[in-house]
Amino acid sequence: MARRTDIESILIFGSGPIVIGQACEFDYSGTQACRVLRREGYRVILVNSNPATIMTDPEFADATYVEPLVPAVVERIIERERPDALLPTVGGQTGINLTLALSESGFLEKSGMKLLGAGIEALRLGEDRQLFKRAMVKAGLEVPESGTAKTLTEAREIIDRLGFPVIVRPSFTLGGEGGGVVFNRDEIDDVVSRALQSSPVSLILLEQSVLGWKEFELEVMRDVADNAIVVCSVENVDPMGVHTGDSITVAPQQTLSDPEYQDMRDDSFTVIRTVGVATGGSNIQFAVEPGTGRRVVIEMNPRVSRSSALASKATGFPIAKIAAQLAVGYTLDEIANDITGKTFAAFEPTLDYTVVKIPRWAFEKFERADGTLGTSMKSVGEVMAIGGNFREALMKGLSGLELEAAWPQQEELVSDPVSLRRRLSTPNWQRLFAVFAALRQGWTVEEVAGASSIDPWFLREIESVVECEAELACWDLDSVPDPLLRRARLSGLGDQRLASLLGSEESQVSREITRRNLDRVFKRVDTCAAEFSAITPYLYSTPGVEDEALPTDRRKVMILGSGPNRIGQGIEFDYCCVHATFALRRAGFETIMVNCNPETVSTDYDTSDRLYFEPLTLEHVMAIYRREQPLGVIVQLGGQTPLKLARSLEAAGVNILGTSPEAIDLAEDRRRFGDLLAEEQILLPANGSAASLDEACQVADEIGYPVVVRPSYVLGGRAMSICYNQPTLLNYMRRAADVSPGRPVLLDRFLEDAFEVDVDLVSDGRRAVVCGIMQHIEEAGIHSGDSAAVLPPYRVSEADLDRMRDIAVRLALRLGVVGLMNVQFAIYGGEVYVLEVNPRASRTVPFIAKAVGLPLVQIATRVMVGETLDEIGLVSEPPVDRFFVKAPVFPFDRFHGVDPVLGPEMKSTGEVMGVGRSFGSAFAKAWLGAGHALPDCGAAFLSVNDRDKKALLRVAERLRDLGFELLCTAGTAAYLSSRGIETRRVNKVAEGRPHVVDYLINGEVGLIVNTPLGGESYKDDMEIRTTALKFDIPCVTTISGAMAAVDAIEALRESLLQVTALQNLATRSLAGCESEV
Partner 1 sequence: MSGRLILEDGSVFHGEALVEGSRFAEIVFNTSMTGYQEILTDPSYRGQIVIMTQPHIGNYGAYDGAEESHRVWVEGFVAREFTGRRSGLGDVDLGVYLETNGVPTLAGIDTRAAVRRLREFGAMRGMITSCDRPDAELIEQVRRQPTMEGRALVDEVTCESPYDIEPEGEEKVRLAVYDFGVKQNILRSLVRHGARVTVLPARTPASDCLDLGVDGVVLSNGPGDPEPLHGIVREVRELVEARVPTFGICLGHQLLGLALGGRTFKLKFGHHGGNQPVRDEESGQVSITSQNHGFALSAESLPEDCKVAAVNLNDGTVEAFKAVGRPIFSVQYHPEAAPGPHDAARLFGEFLDVCVQEAGPGNEAL
**Residues binding partner 1 (CB under 8 A):** 1, 225-227, 229, 233, 252, 254-262, 265-266, 290-291, 293, 331-333, 342-344, 346-354, 388-390, 455-457, 460, 490, 523, 528-533, 543-546, 548
Q: Which is nearer to partner 1, 481 or 704 (CB)?
A: 481
Least Å distance between CB 278 and partner 1?
16
Minimum Å gap between C-beta 317 and partner 1 is 11
- The distance of closest approach from Cβ of residue 232 to partner 1 in the complex, given in angstroms and rounded to an integer, is 10
Q: Give, as one character, the DSSP assignment of residue 829.
A: T
Spell out the residues 6+ positions from residue 484 whose beta carbon is closer than 8 angstroms to its own: 468, 471, 472, 475
Residue 249 or 1026: the one with the smaller Cβ distance to partner 1 is 249
Question: Toward partner 1, which CB reaches closer, 256 or 616?
Answer: 256
Task: Return the C-alpha torsion angle 664, 665, 670, 675, nearest 10.
Answer: -80
Least distance CB 266 / partner 1 (angstroms): 6
Nearest to 635 by CA among 591, 577, 553: 577
CB of 925 to partner 1, least distance (A): 46
- CB of residue 472 vs partner 1: minimum separation in angstroms? 18
- Helix H or strand E encompassing 940: strand 939-943
Cβ atoms of residues 115 and 107 within 8 Å: no
Residue number, 386 or 955, with CB nearest to partner 1: 386
Query: Could you tell me the smallest distance in angstroms from the CB atom of residue 133 to partner 1?
Result: 25
Note the helical H segments in 535-634: 571-586, 618-628
User: Rounded to the nearest whole angstrom, what is the least distance from the CB of residue 699 to partner 1 in the complex?
Assistant: 58
- Report the alpha-carbon angle 951-953-955, nearest 5: 85
CB of 777: closest distance to partner 1 in angstroms? 53
Please give the full DSSP string across 177-241, using - where no structure is assigned. Answer: TT-EEE-SGGGHHHHHHHHHHHSTT--EEEEE--TTSEEEEEEEEE-TT--EEEEEEEEESS-TT
Residues in contact with 248: Cβ distance below 8 Å, sequence separation at least 6, in sequence order:
236, 237, 238, 356, 357, 358, 359, 394, 397, 432
DSSP-assigned beta bridge partners for residue 1030: none
Coil, strand, or helix at residue 401?
coil
- Closer CB to partner 1, 229 or 654, in the complex: 229
Q: In what order do the strands lie in the sheet with 214-222?
A: 295-301, 280-288, 214-222, 228-236, 249-251, 354-360, 381-387
Q: How far is the CB of 612 from partner 1 (least distance, A)?
A: 17
Cα(347)–Cα(874) distance, rounded to whole angstroms?
49
As a whole number of angstroms, the distance between CA 989 and CA 991 comes to 5
Residue 167 CB burial class (10 angstroms; 0-12, 13-18, ≥19): buried
How far apart are CB 546 and partner 1 at their closest, in Å?
4
SS3 of residue 889 by DSSP: strand
Smallest distance from partner 1 to CB 234, Å: 12
What's the closest the beta carbon of residue 269 comes to partner 1, in angstroms?
9
DSSP symbols for 1017-1055: HHHHHHHHHHHHHHTT--EE-SHHHHHHHHHHHHHHHHS
Angle at which helix 661-668 crosses helix 670-679, to 10 degrees, equals 90
Q: Which is nearer to partner 1, 390 or 828 (CB)?
A: 390
For the chain, the 3-state helix, strand and coil shares in percent, each to the nearest 5, are: 40, 20, 40
Q: Which residues contact 433 (CB under 8 A, 6 or more apart)?
A: 407, 410, 411, 413, 414
Residue 238 CB, nearest approach to partner 1 (Å)? 15
Please measure the distance between the N-terminal and C-terminal CA atoms of the chain and give it in whole angstroms: 26
Nearer CB in complex with partner 1: 102/490: 490
Q: Return d(Cα 898, Cα 363) in angstroms, integer.
A: 11
> What residue type is assigned to position 709 of the chain?
V
Cβ atoms 617, 837 nearer than 8 A: no
- Residue closer to partner 1, measured from CB, 187 or 548: 548
| Closer residue to partner 1, CB minimum distance, 354 or 1011 | 354
Indicate the residue among 458 and 625 with the shorter CB distance to partner 1. 458
Question: 118 CB contacts (<8 Å, ≥6 apart)?
Answer: 88, 89, 126, 275, 276, 277, 278, 279, 280, 302, 303
Q: Of 545 and 875, which CB lies nearer to partner 1 in the complex structure?
A: 545
Tell me the C-alpha distance between 839 and 1045, whole Å: 33
C-beta separation of 372 from 426 below 8 A = yes
Residues 33, 95: Cα–Cα separation, whole Å? 14
Q: Which is nearer to partner 1, 333 or 662 (CB)?
A: 333
Q: Tell me the closest approach of the beta carbon of residue 591 to partner 1, in angstroms.
A: 26
Provide the minimum distance between the beta carbon of 548 and partner 1 in the complex, in angstroms, as a whole number: 8
At closest approach, how far in Å is the CB of 257 from partner 1?
Answer: 5
Long-range contacts, 680-684 (Cβ 8 Å, 24+): 680/807, 680/810, 680/811, 680/814, 682/807, 682/810, 682/811, 682/834, 683/831, 683/832, 683/833, 683/834, 684/833, 684/834, 684/835
Nearer to partner 1, 296 or 804 (CB): 296
Strand pairing category for 214-222 and 228-236: antiparallel
CB of 22 to partner 1, least distance (A): 30
390 or 825, CB closer to partner 1?
A: 390
Half-sphere exposure of residue 781: CA atoms within 13 angstroms, side-chain side = 23
Give the separation between CA 351 and CA 386, rounded to whole angstroms: 10
